[in-house]
Amino acid sequence: MSSLSWSESAKGLFRDRERFDAMHLRWSGIADAPADLAPVGDVAAARRLLSLPGARRLPVGVIGPRDASPVEYAQAETVGRVLTEAGFPIICGGRSGAMEAVCKGAAAAGGSPIGLLPDDDWRKANDYVALPMATGLGEARNALIACASFALVAVGGGYGTLSEIALGLRLGRLVISMPPSFEVDGALRIGDPEEVVRVVARRFLALDGA
């Protein structure tokens, strides 16, 4: 596997004779690489790219139940924080439980979490949603979350979460199911939030062969 390198002068990510296109999220061949290349890890590379002006910032959907257990709440809060620290925008259902937790974690890390609400009133959003979007679609808004996310992370959940997992898989999204959430064929089973971020970063950087 080719190692990644960052050029501060070119403000870009390189491997062998390729440069990563931060707008179209793909690798392109180049004739010559900058002289100031320095090794960089997957998550650090994503963080640097996502901080660049004009970079394409695709949201990660974090899904889970309104009645989250204390364990699920803490897990969602941690996932929201570490994904935001890596530079990824967060999108969720915007209400209580796991949705509140992921927004709380994202906000604590300086992010602006997006909440796609089932209601027609943005004031139904939890207190940590920075960008509330009232859809008025009820549970049908679950489909919007799956469609809008380039990757989905499930933390616990019921039938609504299961429907988002299924639709995400059908759409070809990266889907991560964190225990104790559903174990579904095609979804990656990852319990460590730091590993979740690494896998999401590799998908963003087109390094996982998908």
Measured at the alpha carbon of residue 72, what is the angle toward residues 78 and 92, in degrees to the nearest 5? 70
Determine if the pTM surpasses 0.85.
Answer: yes
What is the predicted pLDDT for the residue at 2?
63
How confident is the model over 116-160, as pLDDT tens digits? 999 999 999 999 999 999 999 998 899 999 999 999 999 987 888
3-state secondary structure of 103: helix
Q: Which of 200, 172, 206 is nearest to 79 (CA)?
A: 200
Q: How many CB atoms are closer than 10 A to CB 121? A: 10
Tokens 């979350």 sit on residue: 145
H-run or E-run covering 121? none
The pair of three-digit structure tokens given for residue 106, joined into one six-digit string: 């994202």
Measured at the alpha carbon of residue 163, what is the angle toward residues 162 and 168, in degrees to the nearest 5? 100
- Enumerate domains of the chain plus CATH numbers: 5-40 (no CATH), 60-204 (3.40.50.450)
- Mean residue pLDDT of the chain comes to 94
Mean pLDDT in residue range 32-56: 93
What is the predicted pLDDT for the residue at 1?
47
Name residue 92's beta-bridge partners.
115
Name residue 188's beta-bridge partners.
176
**Is it true that the peptide bond before 180 is cis, omega within 30 degrees of 0?**
yes
pLDDT at 31 over 80: yes
Q: Which of 102, 51, 58, 59 is nearest to 81 (CA)?
A: 102
